[in-house]
Amino acid sequence: MSDHHHDHDAHGHDVHVTHYSTKDYLTGFVLAAILTIIPFWLVMGNVLAPETTRYVILGFAAVQLIVQMVYFLHLSSKSEGGWNMMALLLTVVILVIVMSGSIWVMHHMNENMMPGMGPNSTHTMT
Amino acid sequence: MSEIKQTITGGSIADDVSGRYISRDHHPEQGTLLGFWLYLMSDCLIFASLFATYAVQGRSYAGGPTGAELFELPLIALNTTFLLVSSLTFGFAMIAAQAKNLGKARLWLVVTGILGLAFLCVELYEFHHLIHIGAGPQRSGFLTAFFALVGTHGLHVTFGIIWLVTLFFQLGKHGLTPENMRRLSCLSLFWHFLDLIWIFVFTFVYLMGVLP
């Protein structure tokens, strides 16, 4: 109980719970830079087959997302008593539903269009 | 606080109550950052719908120019660099602010603002160029979705810069007060969030748009 009380007092004076460090930012920056340069190199240099490149660069984007969240946004399962993470997880769930749902529905709609009616009619005709 | 301390006599229930009370008590300071985070998450959903629109419309060229013909990757690489470096410089501003070094914090804010402006200039140049060669938003479904998505991100950067300039002058006037530190933390979240969205813009729109 007294521990709690003490903790509270400390918070009252010190606004910032997160402590930013130069090392964190530099690590994040170097990792992000590497994870940016590789996809650009893959696409501009035509290193891999286009189909493979597509998945590889999406993978790099996902990894960079996590890197920036950890090193720049200082996100952890503990920040704001876990509510940041909860809100993020809910957002990810909705995001996945919106994205995959749209792509799935519209793809099938295009597939079932009569030839020449879909937006990609020139592709389906030939 | 001492009153509350006296009324609690111990025991699990009382402890529980006190814990709840105290955590609620020190919430106001934390509340802003959590609330701002929730705003960012809802902003994420706006971008999710714009990305979904682009995913659906991204290949509907209507006989017009394709991404491979329009996008200039060196320009996008330059823009990505500006935004990524600005994320780092904002981090330095936060570190300086935490070390109570007002001058250094404001200096890094200026550097961040200039990088943001550079990003915006390159983007506006790109938009101007596209509209000039007849590849404006009304040309095809692909370009409508493109301008809506990238334009919304650009608008966010614009407002980020306006906020940054405002905060720069507020810091000059009031110094590193708890209120300004809170504002700085919110802007820090916002600025890094813009960079997060940009990762997917350059990957999903530009890099994948150039691929056959």
Tens digits of per-residue pLDDT, B90-113? 999 999 999 999 999 999 999 999
Select from A74, A92, A117 the last residue of a domain. A74
Per-residue confidence at A47, pLDDT binned at 50, 70, 90? confident
Which residues constitute the domain of residue B39? 32-210
Distances (CA, A) of A42 to A46, A54, B59, B73, B77: 6, 10, 21, 12, 13
Which pLDDT score, from 0 to 100, does residue A120 have?
Answer: 55
The alpha carbon of residue B207 is apart from the nearest alpha carbon of chain A, in Å, by: 6
Q: Is A67 touching B (CB cutoff 8 A)?
A: no
Residue B52 forms part of a structural domain: yes
The alpha carbon of residue B131 is apart from the nearest alpha carbon of chain A, in Å, by: 22
CA–CA gap between residue B30 and residue B40 (Å, rounded): 16
The alpha carbon of residue B22 is apart from the nearest alpha carbon of chain A, in Å, by: 7
Which tokens is A54 given? 């597509």
Residue A34 has pLDDT above 50, yes or no: yes
ipTM of predicted complex:
0.80
Residue A9 has pLDDT above 70, yes or no: no
Residue B27 forms part of a structural domain: no
Same domain, A64 and A95: no
Which residues constitute the domain of residue A35? 1-74
How much of chain A exceeds pLDDT 90, in percent?
Answer: 48
| Residues in chain B closer than 8 A to A46 (CB atoms) | none
Domain count, chain B: 1
Contact flag A73-B193 (C-beta cutoff 8 Å): yes
The alpha carbon of residue B128 is apart from the nearest alpha carbon of chain A, in Å, by: 24
Best of A31, A38, A72 to disrupt the B interface by mutation (most B CBs within 10 Å)?
A72
CA–CA gap between residue A10 and residue B27 (Å, rounded): 13
Which pLDDT score, from 0 to 100, does residue A19 have?
Answer: 72
Same domain, A70 and A87: no
Cβ contacts from A onto B, under 8 A: 147
Residue A1 has pLDDT above 80, yes or no: no
Same domain, A41 and A18: yes
Same domain, A26 and A1: yes
Residue B16 forms part of a structural domain: no
Same domain, A61 and A108: no
Same domain, A7 and A69: yes
Contact flag B48-A95 (C-beta cutoff 8 Å): yes
Which residues, at least 6 apart from B60, have a Cβ–Cβ distance to it below 8 Å? A119, A120, B140, B141, B142
- Asked if residues A79 and B32 have their Cβ atoms less than 8 Å apart, the reply is no
Same domain, A54 and A88: no
Q: Is A45 touching B (CB cutoff 8 A)?
A: no
Same domain, A58 and A93: no
Distances (CA, A) of A2 to A9, A89, B4, B22, B94: 11, 34, 12, 11, 32
Which residue from A20, A50, A90 is facing B212, i.e. has the nearest CB? A50
Same domain, A57 and A2: yes
Residue B190 forms part of a structural domain: yes
Choice among A2-16, A44-58, A102-116, B11-25 with the minimum mean pLDDT:
A2-16
Q: Is B36 touching A (CB cutoff 8 A)?
A: no
Residue B10 forms part of a structural domain: no
In tens digits, what is the pLDDT along chain B, a chain of 212 residues? 444 444 444 444 444 555 454 554 444 456 888 899 999 999 999 999 999 999 999 888 888 898 889 999 999 999 999 999 999 999 999 999 999 999 999 999 999 999 999 999 999 999 999 999 999 999 999 999 999 999 999 999 999 999 999 999 999 999 999 999 999 999 999 999 999 999 999 999 999 988 88
Q: Is A100 touching B (CB cutoff 8 A)?
A: no
Which residue from A21, A58, A95 is facing B203, i.e. has the nearest CB? A58
Interface of B with A in 100-119 (CB under 8 A): none
**B25 or A48: which leads in pLDDT:** A48
**Residue B60's domain is classified under what CATH number?**
1.20.120.80
Interface of B with A in 63-102 (CB under 8 A): 73, 77, 80, 84-85, 87-88, 91-92, 94-95, 98
Q: What is the pTM of this model?
A: 0.82
Measured on CA atoms in the order A111, A53, A69, B115, is the torsion positive or negative? negative
Residue B187 forms part of a structural domain: yes
User: A97-122: per-residue pLDDT in tens?
Assistant: 999 999 999 888 888 876 765 555 55
Residue B7 forms part of a structural domain: no
Residue B140 forms part of a structural domain: yes
Contact flag A5-B22 (C-beta cutoff 8 Å): yes
Domain count, chain A: 2
